[in-house]
Amino acid sequence: MRSFTVTAVLIATLASGGSLWAAESASPSSRADESHGTNVLVVGIDRRTGMSAEEIKRLHVGGKGCDCTDVMMLVHFAEDGRRMTAVSIPRDSYVEFAHHSHPRHSGKINGAFAHGGGDLTVRTVEKATGLKIDHYLETDFTGFVNTVDRLGGAKVCTDKPLLDLGSGLKLSAGTSRLDGRRALRYVRTRHVDPPGDLGRVRRQQRLLIDMLSRLRDEGAFADPAAAVRTALTLRKSVRVDAHTSLADLAHLGSLLGGLNADQTEFATVPMSDFDHRVPAWGSTLLWDKKRSAALWEALRKDRSIMGDARIRPSMDVPVEIPPSWVRVRVTDAKVAGALRANGFVIENTSGRPDQPRPKGATVITYDPHRARYAPTLEAAIPGAKLRPVAGHGPVFDITVGSKAASVVKVVHDRSSVEGAPVTGDRLRCGTTE
């Protein structure tokens, strides 16, 4: 099982933006009970030590490194090898650090590395999650680029153009095949829709599952010989811990050949506060205590996280912007009442009960400057059409059409908009969540 786990992470680590190598400073705890699967902590370090100015410019990774974990993913492998669950841990998560040379204190989880390297990072994650970490792996920029190139590139999809000057990303709408350098820009971008770390994490997960599925479809793990060839390719730009041999990598490759996308699960730790202010640390993220505890319990008991109501506590549609921030005018009193009950601010109901509805779907008209609020209203009225009109003003107008306009319950839950549990087959190109 150990060889299966470590090799799977070699592929999974591509999503974190770097090559793989085992940090000598890390000392994962030994598991007392191996019956509950295997846990691997994968991190990407924001560090540019050893990179030339030319390489930094070529990869578009300028700026000062923080010597902290920029990406953190806890990967759990079921004992029977038939399921992989990857949980992204946002770097600004506010947690108590494990014991180290400093007095007892809390901070952003990505700062544990600066305080005590991989060893403290592992122990802090163990303290926060209650899970034992069996393997700890670090990544860097250059190795990621080389690995993607050697494995034939990566495929990504987007329904609209993506442009981010910060990461250097420039993608047209549709499906694109990326080399390692462009793939690095894709997994690092934070200033495209959806913005921030949650959107970035989901893009990393999408790249991962499409790359893993492509390698499987192309026969990279079809038989022992193919698995050895793939392992050799990885070893050219990947370093692993001393306990992982080429035979281990090849063995896992063979097992990966039987792992379908629907046997993989992806999620982000559920959050309760996205702007918890702490002196010396600034804006931090607080985990939702009950939902995150349920998530870690599922992994500890080697269970699937899909369909667990305790992790995603209701069937309401999650939205990133609270309904109370959206001002609305509606042509139908019944729809207006349902939206008001949902938390939207109703400015006016312009229609009469006996007024005929226009033919067709319900239309939501709004100013493009308010585009970030539109998805919240669109989620509440499934099937409605968005119509941006320059200069429309701060209020959204809803013209209810002849087709039935049902209003569904939405809930302000940013961590479930892009971080709710989902199987890998829902993240592949050509699918939607």
What are 101-116's pLDDT values in tens digits?
888 889 999 999 988 8
- φ, ψ for residue 176, nearest 5 deg: -130, 140
Task: Determine the pLDDT at residue 430.
Answer: 67
Cβ neighbors of 417 (< 8 A, separation 6 or more) are 194, 198, 318, 319, 320
What are 247-274's pLDDT values in tens digits?
656 655 665 677 788 998 999 999 888 8
Question: Mean pLDDT for the chain?
Answer: 82
Q: For residue 32, name the pLDDT band (cuts at 50, 70, 90).
A: very low
132 versus 19: the higher-pLDDT residue is 132
Both tokens of 126, joined, read 């163990």
Cβ neighbors of 354 (< 8 A, separation 6 or more) are none
Which of 415, 392, 50 has the alpha carbon at shortest distance from 201? 415
Strand locations in 20-91, DSSP E? Answer: 38-46, 68-77, 84-88
Q: For residue 147, name the pLDDT band (cuts at 50, 70, 90).
A: confident
* DSSP codes joined into one string, 380-429: HSTTPEEEE-TT--SSEEEE--SS------EEE-HHHHTTS-EEGGGTST
In the Cβ-directed half-sphere of 50, how many Cα atoms lie within 13 Å?
7
Is pLDDT above 60 for 354?
A: no
Least confident piece of the model among 23-37, 77-91, 165-179, 282-296:
23-37
Enclosing H/E stretch for 374: helix 374-380
Task: Determine the pLDDT at residue 385.
Answer: 93
What are 311-340's pLDDT values in tens digits?
876 667 888 888 999 999 998 888 999 999
Domain spans of the chain?
2-312+416-426, 319-408
What are 202-230's pLDDT values in tens digits?
888 888 888 888 888 888 888 888 888 88
Cβ neighbors of 259 (< 8 A, separation 6 or more) are 8, 81, 82, 84, 216
Place of tokens 């392992």: 231
CATH H-level superfamily of 2-312+416-426:
LCP protein (3.40.630.190)
Task: Determine the pLDDT at residue 48.
Answer: 79
Is pLDDT above 60 for 23?
A: no
Q: Are 271 and 286 in contact (CB under 8 A)?
A: yes
Instruction: State what percent of residues in the chain have pLDDT above 70.
Output: 82
What are 41-96's pLDDT values in tens digits?
888 877 777 788 888 888 888 777 778 888 888 988 888 888 889 999 988 999 99
Give dist(CA 280, CA 258) in Å, integer. Answer: 48
Is pLDDT above 80 for 359?
A: yes
Is pLDDT above 50 for 31?
A: no
Cβ neighbors of 115 (< 8 A, separation 6 or more) are 97, 100, 102, 107
In the Cβ-directed half-sphere of 321, how many Cα atoms lie within 13 Å?
19
Mean pLDDT (whole number) for 177-196 = 85
| DSSP conformation class of 21 | B
Is pLDDT above 90 for 365?
A: yes
CA distances from 336 to 25, 342, 389, 409, 417 (A): 59, 10, 22, 13, 24
Which of 411, 412, 413, 407 has the alpha carbon at shortest distance from 339? 407
Q: For residue 30, name the pLDDT band (cuts at 50, 70, 90).
A: very low
Task: Determine the pLDDT at residue 212.
Answer: 80
Long-range contacts at 47-52 (CB < 8 A, ≥ 24 apart): 47/140, 48/141, 51/141, 51/142
Q: For residue 20, name the pLDDT band (cuts at 50, 70, 90).
A: very low
Is pLDDT above 50 for 275?
A: yes
Enclosing H/E stretch for 103: none
Task: Determine the pLDDT at residue 416.
Answer: 78
Give dist(CA 201, CA 291) in Å, integer. Answer: 19
Give dist(CA 38, CA 288) in Å, integer. Answer: 24
